[in-house]
Amino acid sequence: MKWFRDHTFRRSRLPWCGASGVLAFTLSLALSPVVVGQVDMSHLRDTVSVGRLSVTGYPYIFYSPETEFAVGGALILTQRLSANPEVKPSNAMLSGYYSAKGSYDVFLNPEFFLADEKYYLGLSIDYYKFVDKFWGIGNTTPDIPEAGYIRKAFWLNIEFDVSVIGDLKLGMNYDLNVTDVIDKQMNPYLLSGDLTGTDGGVSSGIGGVLFADTRNGPFSPSEGGYYKLSFLNAGSWLGSTFTFSRWILDLRQYVGISKPLVVALQFYAVALTGSPPFYQLAALGGDNIERGYYEGRYRDKFYAAAQVEMRWNFWRRFGLIGWIGAGDVSSSIGDFRLTSLKPSFGIGLRFMLDPETLLNVRADFAYGRDSKGIYFNAKEAF
């Protein structure tokens, strides 16, 4: 999903679509016993870690109208950097793919929980070329056939948080996005030249973070919550082509009904002011929230969405999920209307690649209003 790459937070985009998506999921299940392993790091107990380094990797293949056939792979490393079993394990994901049309994506995302989670350090680096789509701005944009265009981008996000009271952390983040629109194709909005960011540009901003994470695990939690409010200001004083501010609120709660059943809830909202480029406007859809819609099918300066998901570990490493949600974009907070909300619902299959860290690979079958999608990825949607 490109929203996280163009904005903040970690993002690992392992797309799939159609029958080849089934092949990708099957391939990952078949190879997971081979590629999942643990490296004994006990000799570093006094210097770095009291945990073991867990290494998980898998290949995948997928097809989409934008990329045609593509192949790629992901490598995920996890290690607990504390003797306290309650401390979340640090982790890093490296993923990438290359398609028959020449699209590609290389993504690196390490996250470190340090000094018994007193400090958090996260880094996201992404370099990609992608055939994207833009239907205009607003929540009623028509489905035009000339929506496609191609862009190339480099994205960097650095975040550092420090505990202030209990689980509450206060931090700072820096976000850099360098985008080049290399082919406008026949997109009428880009060809008009009236759109901010038509030729790409640089957005460079710094901001603050208020953050609390009480989950009992970073990958598939069964209790606790994740609460994050972030602010970013991009301006020429940091070398930015565009001047804008962005607020993001991400609230999640996890409730264990019984050992195999978990209810997960999320509310997500974005607000932008100033003049952001069109590709950094709040985008509805993707494989995390509002699944079933092409990410960016609707874009605007304000976005709000909520979802609730039931997760059931029904047999050994296998699980099933079902969810329902709704969301919309708007030009202002006062313009949101219940009648225009875009529904999202679906079911999914889970397979646990790493039983120790509860890392899942997922396949989701999603439906929206006159829209649907199939997604394959590592980690839960939220």
pLDDT at residue 237 tops 80: yes
**Which region, left, alpha or beta, applies to residue 115 given φ > 0 means left and ψ of -120 to 50 means alpha?**
left
> Where in the chain are the domains?
2-378
Q: What is the pLDDT of residue 22?
A: 40
Q: What is the pLDDT of residue 63?
A: 58
10 Å CB burial of residue 349 (0-12, 13-18, 19+) is middle
Q: How far is it, in rounded angstroms, from Cα 93 to Cα 56?
A: 9
Give the CA dihedral 133, 249, 348, 310, nearest 10 degrees.
-160
Identify whether the C-beta of residue 108 lies closer than 8 Å to the C-beta of residue 96. Answer: no
2-378: which CATH number, 2.40.160.60, 3.40.50.300, 2.40.160.50, 3.40.640.10? 2.40.160.50
Q: What is the pLDDT of residue 101?
A: 77
64-73, 110-119, 373-382: range with highest mean pLDDT: 110-119
Sign of CA dihedral 111, 112, 116, 119: negative
62 pLDDT band (50/70/90 cuts)?
A: low
Lowest mean pLDDT among 48-57, 303-312, 324-333: 48-57
Identify whether the C-beta of residue 259 lies closer than 8 Å to the C-beta of residue 245. Answer: no
> Which one-letter DSSP state was computed for residue 87?
S
For 208-235, what is the mean pLDDT?
94
47 pLDDT band (50/70/90 cuts)?
A: very low
Q: How far is it, in rounded angstroms, from Cα 176 to Cα 5?
A: 10
